[in-house]
Structure 1
């Protein structure tokens, strides 16, 4: 058992190294194979031990950036995330007893990944296998099978690698057929890429205004942050007037480009109106607006401001961060005065709409910060006609960590999944423009202060991944329930059979 536990610990660290900022994607299959070997041959009652150790090293390493919030928050959140590897251990132990076990084991991985990505309090999707696939052949399958499908493909590669290592000395035609089949499935999207039909172009400006001082605390310097974005937009207008820059069709400011309500704060409102009038095109402002239904709550929104007309469409963040942007069961679980919870005086209300923003003549799918890690938001808006995607983010708190790179990689993968250009506006990094094949056309590094102006393509083509929506994830959860139920029913039948066979024997022996 000691060797199994050491193998699991090493495998978890190797899997974490597949993600940014290390980014060694090729480590995923051997890391998953290591977990299979750590569990293989163990009873379910013991299999959870190495998988839990695997989950501990993986989650604490891949999300070490959570220490920026607080060491206590990092410990608590990762402990919760690691606990999901306990049922994974049970599922792997059950799966490894079946024929075609690499498939069942991969399904268990994806099912648990889906479960922890949505539960509790909307879950934590960071660390999904698919989020480490940028610039790999796996990513080319995204427009065909979506995020959950690619995670399954990666997991299947890992479990199949374990199967091959177990059969390396007895390789036969079946072995070669399995290898060939998996290779074809993996490489096919690269050879037959999904074709996205471009319906036009538009020019977009993304403003990264930076955060004064250490760059970590937006709220403390929120007026300077807003002033930076106003100034850069006005400077862009001057450059356009001088013929030094092309006129954008719209401008994107990041999340928290105003940390106060732009409708009730006269100074902030005047700055936004001045910037919008100067550039002469709509500006999507990332702002905190008071909830009109409850003064004690706030809305995190992307708000379209139009020159001479004021505000238009709004997108409300669908996935506020628990204990960061709202406190679940406020006052009943953890005291509001504990640690940095004092910085969350009002709860952020989650949005529900999947309608894209109307920006001039365009339909734009918007996502705010962590929203980009969830499948239904961007895909749902693209399915409803969005022609391109914008991501507004304020991850200033994590500006010295690998979280920035991890989140930007997810934005790249969303471009491939949806077949849309993606424009990322970050408050102090990383901003960028990504083409539908996942390539970064332009970017601004962390702590940079710059305006990106790029002409991007528009499309109304709907990829198979967008059509599938969240159904692959739902089916993965259904598989967990059905397989667990089948195991329990089979176990009860076996116990009844043992009692039936054992009863008469025991009576005869007593006689």
Structure 2
């Protein structure tokens, strides 16, 4: 009976936390209400203030599971159970956050510990399991906001910290026990962060060299999973679109490109082993007379393995440099614990051969310009983008295939992530997709071109090659490591303080003190 009463007292907080999670999910594309993040964070903190560790776990889980349910419903294209499983898995990270934050809120340095804990939580979600899933970072929602410019200085983790801090400052203003002085400081600090961000000027000037690039979106013969069985048609769609481009060049209505970019999976048939596919690619390359970066699935390196690659195909020397995707998608491109799971989950047979990860960054020098190639979901991974920048990338390329998720909101989310990468790195990003969204994003995150979905699209752009580095790329991973370290320190300090604490916090309602509030085991 005591447990039931404790749960009854906790239930209103849980309902509010679930609502806060839903609000945070709506901050992102395709809904695109970024400032809801600054509303959701203080609401979430209010539900954690004054509760026990166990209650914090339950409240955090409710928040996190709801957040990811709203953020990634597109995974239900694979299966509703897959979407539910991912939401639960990622939501459990916020259950851990809730446990620590509920205690950190009692500490006098809570305004530092909480946003650092948030960054540590995002770092964990981006790292484990199976290489992590960095899709739910606060930073991704702010490509159109002045606050997003902070990514050029402190990177994506630093921007997430700043957004979480804005939520903390909002809570400090609204928190019942906050003194007037703290409220004034918090309000001024919040205005300074937003106003200061608006004053940041993002440099877009190149090093004097420009590149004319053509992004080819050939489209696919169907939506969802069925297109996977029509690989040869997809390749020929891209061939046809490239030949049409060349006709416009011959007619003088289109400037000749220096490079043509085909998307990920523009051929799912290995052109090194299939003469017909190789002939299609060579026809396209010889027609335009410039290198084509081909998205090709290659067989090997091991038995029953494949690799998703970008292959530089030259009109004179033929195929050359190859970049193999380093972060294949678990359960999409390979199956963890394959031998154990396949007998029980027959649907996984659709994945086919295991995708073997590449070993080296996608640094591709082509005709005097260095391109940094990342493939599809890799754009969300800090290490992939950081490594091509360290390798001297002057222009970023994202080869992607979102046909499975067309019309679900996933392509819009990935495009928003790509825009934030442009701001962070100060590089133009060229995006080529099989079915959309393809486009060009300038170094300041503004969009020069954005294609529709499930339509052919060929866009030619003259873009600057850039050598200058943003402060974020010079700092590399340090902001994330420092903020994560502080978050862990805050968790330890909060737990140690909890052990020493004998009395409830001043102003904490008796029903919310750790000694009174319990939840069912």
TM-score above 0.5, yes or no: yes
Alignment of 1:60-459 (within 5 A): 60-166=69-175, 170-172=179-181, 174-199=182-207, 200-214=209-223, 216-292=225-301, 294-332=302-340, 334-336=341-343, 338-354=345-361, 356-459=363-466
CA distance in 2, matches of 1:398, 1:366: 22
CA contact (8 A) 1:391 1:422 kept: yes
CA contact (8 A) 1:416 1:437 kept: yes
Q: Secondary structure at the match of 2:273?
A: coil
User: Closer, same or farther in 2 for the Cα pair 1:45/1:235, shift >3 Å?
Assistant: same
User: Cα RMSD (Å) of the superposition?
Assistant: 1.8
Partner of 1:11 in structure 2? 20
- For residues 322-366 of structure 1, what are the alpha-carbon distances to aligned partners after superposition, in whole Å with 9 as ceiling and x for unaligned? 11101112212x225624311122111112312511222210011
Q: Secondary structure at the match of 1:25?
A: coil
User: Closer, same or farther in 2 for the Cα pair 1:102/1:357, shift >3 Å?
Assistant: same
- For residues 367-414 of structure 1, what are the alpha-carbon distances to aligned partners after superposition, in whole Å with 9 as ceiling and x for unaligned? 101001111112221222111111010111100201010001011111
Q: Compute the displacement of 1:134 (Å).
A: 1.3
CA contact (8 A) 2:427 2:443 kept: yes
Which of 68, 78, 82 is the matching residue for 1:59?
68
User: Closer, same or farther in 2 for the Cα pair 1:135/1:150, shift >3 Å?
Assistant: same
CA contact (8 A) 1:208 1:254 kept: yes
- For residues 19-62 of structure 1, what are the alpha-carbon distances to aligned partners after superposition, in whole Å with 9 as ceiling and x for unaligned? 11111011001100111000101021221111111111111111
Which of 31, 37, 41 is the matching residue for 1:22?
31
- For residues 112-170 of structure 1, what are the alpha-carbon distances to aligned partners after superposition, in whole Å with 9 as ceiling and x for unaligned? 11101110001111111011111112111111010000000000111111110025985
Q: What stretches of structure 1 of length at least 5 have no aligned partner?
A: 496-511
User: Closer, same or farther in 2 for the Cα pair 1:282/1:323, shift >3 Å?
Assistant: same
User: Closer, same or farther in 2 for the Cα pair 1:33/1:481, shift >3 Å?
Assistant: closer
CA contact (8 A) 2:217 2:456 kept: yes
**When the two structures are aligned, how many residues end up with a matched partner?**
492
Partner of 1:502 in structure 2? none
Bigger Cα displacement from structure 2, 77-86 vs 176-185? 176-185
Partner of 1:504 in structure 2? none
Q: Secondary structure at the match of 1:205?
A: strand
User: Closer, same or farther in 2 for the Cα pair 1:178/1:106, shift >3 Å?
Assistant: same
CA distance in 1, matches of 2:482, 2:131: 18
CA distance in 2, matches of 1:450, 1:196: 26
CA distance in 2, matches of 1:331, 1:475: 39
CA distance in 2, matches of 1:206, 1:337: 41
Q: Compute the displacement of 1:194 (Å).
A: 4.0
Q: What stretches of structure 2 of length at least 5 have no aligned partner?
A: 1-9, 503-521
CA contact (8 A) 1:114 1:476 kept: no
- For residues 188-244 of structure 1, what are the alpha-carbon distances to aligned partners after superposition, in whole Å with 9 as ceiling and x for unaligned? 232132435411211110000111133643321110000000111111112111111
TM-score normalized with structure 1 length: 0.93
TM-score normalized with structure 2 length: 0.91
CA distance in 1, matches of 2:454, 2:379: 21
CA contact (8 A) 1:215 1:447 kept: no
Partner of 1:508 in structure 2? none
CA contact (8 A) 1:11 1:54 kept: yes
CA distance in 2, matches of 1:354, 1:37: 43
